[in-house]
């Protein structure tokens, strides 16, 4: 596999697939720019070599063609600031305007194409669409790890039209760090899985049972386990059809000698809102009409004690509804414990993308853990052992 390090971009127009699928607020301000910052090394290398960069990405999941809400033009001010130069914008990713702008691009210049998903052909992996994209550049660079689990035109199919397919720094770092966890985990290895649904995490949980010493489960998915074991969960999140599966996981963990740790108490609310009335109750004793929205103080003590003694940590998914400050205590406490283990115990800590990454970044801890992944689904699929189409296309 060719990598950015070993490739000389002098005089080349690099067509770079990035994952600029970043969260925007109502005024189109970027609320977490991790994915943009992550691409600085790759783009800087291209420009410093004397090449130019044509950036292509998706944003959101537009259904009906061009939509203001999903336009990548909203990223231009941030990109220009990040790269310290004007970033040009093509208001279409193919067609005459994109072709002309790409053709006139000079060494050291950056061009951003409009949202690829404004064409349904992108997600379909349409070959003719991929070929049109390929005409814009001389070499294809894939640095979109966050979208590498999609076999789309720009992430995979386009590769066949280039002699030179180059793996970017983000992609390399993501794979290297995930492999450290999968293949070289120092013990004790503790995985913390949270978030809303068991169904999204089941494959990774099963895979982890083969490698971890302790699996901590928190967040909304714990209530399905509690209910399956006969506990009272009030109106907490429940995947009723996954109760069997929950019991199956517990059984498998026992067989494999993995210690599964779940909350012993929960902060519950009488309404799904930050200002709801709150009470802390033991696990399995949530009254009717109440729902668990965070782990309780005893669980925080239990979980952080385990995390602080770990040598390898994988964290994916929040411990509660951390978007509500009154229910963010558990998630923030885990973030602090991960930092402590990393700094004081020399642990290697990898934070799975999406919500856990924004929780750790918003708490200001992004630089104090070993690695914050830019991938959500992509990281999980990689860790489940799947071949990612975006990686396969580079090989
Ligand atoms: N007890 C709970 N009740 C309801 N929702 C919860 C609860 N705990 C966590 N959540 C919600 O789960 C969501 C995140 O769950 P999800 O399964 O999407 O995790 P994730 O985004 O995959 O994690 P990551 O992004 O770190 O990979 C958050 O929006 C959070 O509010
Ligand atoms: O945010 C992500 O996980 C990636 O950008 C992929 O987006 P998608 O789930 O809409 O394909």
pLDDT at 203 over 90: no
Nearest alpha-carbon partner for 121 in 54, 58, 53: 58
Ligand nearest to the CA of 354: 1
Q: How confident is the model at residue 356 (pLDDT cuts 50, 70, 90)?
A: confident
Closest C-alpha to ligand 1, atom 20: 317
- What's the pLDDT score for residue 336? 96
Beta bridge partners of 141: 16, 166
pLDDT of 120: 98
pLDDT of residue 68: 96
Fold agreement between 2-170 and 185-383: yes
Superfamily for the 2-170 domain: Phosphoglycerate kinase, N-terminal domain (3.40.50.1260)
Measured between alpha carbons, how far is 1 from 6 in angstroms, rounded to an integer? Answer: 10
State percent of the chain over pLDDT 70. 100
Q: What is the pLDDT of residue 333?
A: 96
Which percentage of the chain shows pLDDT scores above 90? Answer: 91
pLDDT in tens, 241-276: 999 999 999 999 999 999 999 999 999 999 999 999
Active-site entry in 35, 45, 132, 165: 35
* 101, 54 contact by CB (below 8 A): no
Distance 257 CA to ligand 2 centre (A): 35
213 close to 188: Cβ distance less than 8 angstroms: yes
The predicted complex's ipTM stands at 0.93
Q: Is the pLDDT of residue 46 over 90?
A: yes
What's the average model confidence in pLDDT over 108-132? 98
As for ligand 2, residues whose beta carbon falls within 6 Å of it are 19, 21, 61, 146-147, 150, 376-377
Query: Looking at ligand 2, which residue's alpha carbon is closest to its atom 7?
Result: 147
pLDDT at 368: 97
pLDDT tens across 328-343, in order?
Answer: 999 999 999 999 999 9
Q: What is the SS3 assignment for 395?
A: coil
Instruction: Write down the residue that tokens 């800590």 correspond to.
Output: 349
Active site residue 197: yes
pLDDT at 363: 85
With beta carbons less than 8 A apart as the criterion, state whether 86 and 117 touch: no
Sorted by where each begins, the domain ranges of the chain are 2-170, 185-383
Q: How does residue 104 score in pLDDT terms, banded at 50, 70 and 90?
A: very high
218 lines ligand 1 (CB under 6 A): no
pLDDT of 353 > 80? The answer is no
Can you tell me the distance from the alpha carbon of 320 to that of 189, in angstroms, rounded to the nearest whole number? 23
pLDDT for res 329: 97
Q: What is the distance in A from the centroid of ligand 1 to the CA of 321?
A: 7
Alpha-carbon dihedral angle through residues 219, 224, 228, 229, given to the nearest 10 degrees: 10
135 included as an active-site residue: no
355 vs 141 pLDDT, higher one: 141
Q: Is 368's C-beta closer than 6 angstroms to any atom of ligand 1?
A: no
Report the phi/psi class of residue 384: left, alpha or beta, with left for phi > 0 and alpha for psi in -120 to 50: alpha
CA of 345 to the centre of ligand 2 (A): 34
316 pLDDT exceeds 80?
A: yes
The pick from 377, 381, 382 for probing ligand 2's pocket by mutation, whose C-beta has the most ligand atoms within 8 angstroms, reads 377
Q: pLDDT by residue (tens digit) across 220-241?
A: 999 999 999 999 999 999 999 9
Q: Does the pLDDT of residue 115 top 80, yes or no?
A: yes
> What pLDDT does residue 199 have?
86
User: Is 278 annotated as belonging to a binding site?
Assistant: no
20 among annotated binding-site residues = yes
pLDDT at 358: 82
Which of the following is catalytic: 197, 207, 311, 340? 197
**Ligand 2 centroid to 147 CA: how many Å?**
6
User: The domain 185-383 belongs to what CATH superfamily?
Assistant: Phosphoglycerate kinase, N-terminal domain (3.40.50.1260)
β pairing state of 265-269 and 291-295: antiparallel
């Amino acid at each position: 596999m060719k990598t950015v390090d070993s490739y000389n971009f002098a005089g080349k127009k690099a067509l770079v697939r990035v994952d600029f699928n970043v969260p925007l607020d109502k005024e189109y301000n970027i609320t977490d720019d991790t994915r943009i910052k992550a691409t600085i090394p790759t783009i800087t290398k291209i420009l410093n070599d004397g090449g130019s960069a044509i950036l292509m990405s998706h944003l959101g999941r537009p259904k009906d063609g061009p939509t203001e809400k999903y336009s990548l033009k909203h990223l231009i001010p941030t990109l220009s600031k990040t790269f310290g130069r004007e970033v040009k914008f093509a208001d279409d990713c193919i067609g005459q305007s994109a072709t002309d702008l790409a053709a006139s691009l000079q060494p050291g210049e950056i061009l951003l194409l409009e949202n690829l998903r404004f064409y349904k052909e992108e997600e379909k992996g349409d070959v003719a669409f991929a070929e049109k994209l390929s005409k814009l550049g001389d070499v294809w660079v894939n640095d979109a790890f966050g979208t590498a689990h999609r076999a789309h035109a720009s992430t995979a199919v386009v590769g066949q039209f280039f002699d030179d397919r180059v793996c970017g720094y983000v992609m390399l770092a993501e794979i290297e760090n995930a492999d450290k966890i999968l293949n070289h985990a120092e013990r004790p290895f503790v995985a913390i899985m949270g978030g809303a649904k068991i169904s999204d995490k089941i494959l990774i949980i099963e895979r982890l049972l083969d490698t971890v010493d302790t699996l901590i489960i928190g967040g909304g998915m714990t209530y399905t386990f509690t209910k399956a074991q006969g506990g009272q969960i009030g109106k907490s999140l429940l995947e009723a059809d996954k109760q069997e599966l929950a019991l199956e996981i517990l059984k498998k963990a026992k067989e494999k000698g993995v210690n599964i740790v779940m909350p012993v108490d929960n902060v519950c609310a009488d309404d799904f809102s930050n200002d709801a009335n709150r009470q802390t109750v033991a696990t399995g004793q949530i009254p009717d009409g109440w729902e668990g929205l965070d782990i309780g103080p005893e669980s925080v003590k239990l979980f952080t004690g385990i995390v602080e003694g770990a040598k390898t940590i994988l964290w994916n998914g929040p411990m509660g509804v951390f978007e509500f400050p009154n229910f963010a205590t558990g998630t923030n406490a885990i973030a602090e414990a991960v930092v402590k283990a990393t700094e004081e115990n020399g642990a290697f800590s990898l934070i799975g993308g999406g919500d856990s990454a924004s929780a750790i970044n918003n708490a200001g801890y992004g630089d104090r853990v070993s690695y914050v992944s830019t991938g959500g689904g992509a990281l999980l699929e990689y860790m489940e052992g799947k071949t990612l189409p975006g990686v396969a296309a580079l090989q």
